[in-house]
Structure 1
Amino acid sequence: MYKVFFNQKPIFLTTEFVNQTESSPVLFVKFSSAENILKAIKSKKIESLYLYHQDEDKLWMHFLRCFPVVEAAGGLVRHEDERILFIFRNKKWDLPKGRIEKNEAIKTAAIREVEEETGAEDLEIIKPLIQTFHIFTRHGKYKLKKTYWFEMKTASTKKLTPQANEGIEEAVWVSESEVPSKFKNAYENIKQVYAEFKN
């Protein structure tokens, strides 16, 4: 089962048929469109949505017909003193990430985006974490953002510089004890990345 977020609400892509409820309906993805998926998930009565197809490949094929994919990469960066790098963008706490450029390696994109968005230096990838998915709108069209996340580390003491032209207001090092308070106003995807990091 895969989890895709839209405005903090989860859409579950599943090959296992589940019993629907009023707050968690099930749609057959083969017979769905972007319009009726969005209409359902935007309803105030609905807390989550299930999209079903018994075949995983066909499940994704039909879903991507509705929402073309845009690939991005980013990092959960841990300083040698155990603090975690956060950014504040669009009025929420987030982790640095951005779109993968044409012919760019995923790991290269992840490091570049973290550097550009925060000014962090001397980044080293430790390991891949998870991939997250969310639906966003660009130029009036809804698309699926697939983000590849990596655990990174650095010992750099350079002052962080948030990338203002990307709408980033803050780039800060956060102690682990402060992370729960940031999560009170953070994207659900980020919580998944952090949970994977802690496992």
Structure 2
Amino acid sequence: MAQKYNIYINQKALIITSIKPDDSLDYQMLDVQSFEFEKFYKSLSKNPQSVFYLLTEHPKAVFKEVKSSLRIIEAAGGLVESNEGKYLFIKRNGRWDLPKGKLEEDESKRDAAVREVEEECGIVVKKLGKKLIKTYHVYEIKGKPVLKVSHWYTMLTKSNQKLIPQLEEGITEVKWIAKKDWNLVRANTYPSILDVLDIV
């Protein structure tokens, strides 16, 4: 299977892959030989394009190089399924999202994922399942780009628990949503969340 790494910067995407993009897509091709992430990042605000491709025979190596140039922040979260087959979503800062948060010192990714889901939604997770995917998102801290690596896990719990949004984290709503109604979420969420939903 061909390797592909999607790095999201706000609503823009940098895709590092060995697969030539479909020509029906609207994208800009970048030269992998001269690519420097910091220069690319600084030029983004002046570029109206939203999808950028770095085509290479060695996506993993190129991705590692990009990663090594940035400060990494590790986070973990969950796609929580209820005993009725619905999934748990939160509304944070006006958009649908999945519960997740940063790892605490010496905390494992799996423990952090469960803790964050429980804190942000006010529930108790009954079972932690398999790892689904890792997503990558760049944002700024003190004017410097950092890379947030989020580790996503499947989880199971009962749906008869009272849902309590963690207001101090900007969460205004917690809701069980059936898979057939995910279009509601897809219309108002983040690109990295779509990556999680697309593999389920």
> Is the counterpart of residue 77 in structure 1 residue 80 in structure 2?
yes
Q: TM-score, normalized by length of structure 2?
A: 0.86
Give the superposition deviation at 1:76: 0.4
Q: Among residues 134, 137, 141, which one is paired with 1:134 in the alignment?
A: 137
Residue of structure 2 in register with 1:39 after alignment: 43
In structure 2, what residue type is equivalent to 1:186? T
Given that residues 73 and 146 in structure 2 are in contact (C-alpha distance below 8 angstroms), is that contact kept between their aligned partners in structure 1?
Answer: yes
The within-5 A match list for 1:61-76 is 61-76=64-79
Give the superposition deviation at 1:172: 1.2
Residue of structure 1 in register with 2:185 after alignment: 182
* Identical counterparts, % of pairs: 33
In 2, the alpha carbon distance for the partners of 1:162 and 1:29 equals: 46
Mark the CA change 1:24 to 1:120 in structure 2 (over 3 Å): closer, same or farther.
Answer: same
Residue of structure 2 in register with 1:145 after alignment: 148
Cα offsets for 1:102-136 (capped at 9, x unmatched): 21111111000000111111331121111111111
Given that residues 29 and 62 in structure 1 are in contact (C-alpha distance below 8 angstroms), is that contact kept between their aligned partners in structure 2?
Answer: no
Given that residues 114 and 125 in structure 2 are in contact (C-alpha distance below 8 angstroms), is that contact kept between their aligned partners in structure 1?
Answer: no
Mark the CA change 1:175 to 1:42 in structure 2 (over 3 Å): closer, same or farther.
Answer: farther
How many residue pairs get matched? 196
- Match of 1:185, SS state, is coil
In structure 2, what residue type is equivalent to 1:71? E
In 1, the alpha carbon distance for the partners of 2:44 and 2:100 equals: 28
CA-atom RMSD, angstroms?
2.5
In 1, the alpha carbon distance for the partners of 2:26 and 2:127 equals: 47
Residue of structure 1 in register with 2:160 after alignment: 157
Segments of 5+ residues of structure 2 without an aligned counterpart are: none
Moved segments of 4+, more than 6 Å: 16-22
Residue of structure 1 in register with 2:125 after alignment: 122
In structure 1, what residue type is equivalent to 2:39? E
Cα offsets for 1:133-189 (capped at 9, x unmatched): 111122322111111111111015221111111111111111223211121001111
In 2, the alpha carbon distance for the partners of 1:23 and 1:191 equals: 18
Residue of structure 1 in register with 2:8 after alignment: 5
Residue of structure 1 in register with 2:107 after alignment: 104
Greater helix proportion: 1
Q: TM-score, normalized by length of structure 1?
A: 0.86
- Match of 2:149, SS state, is strand
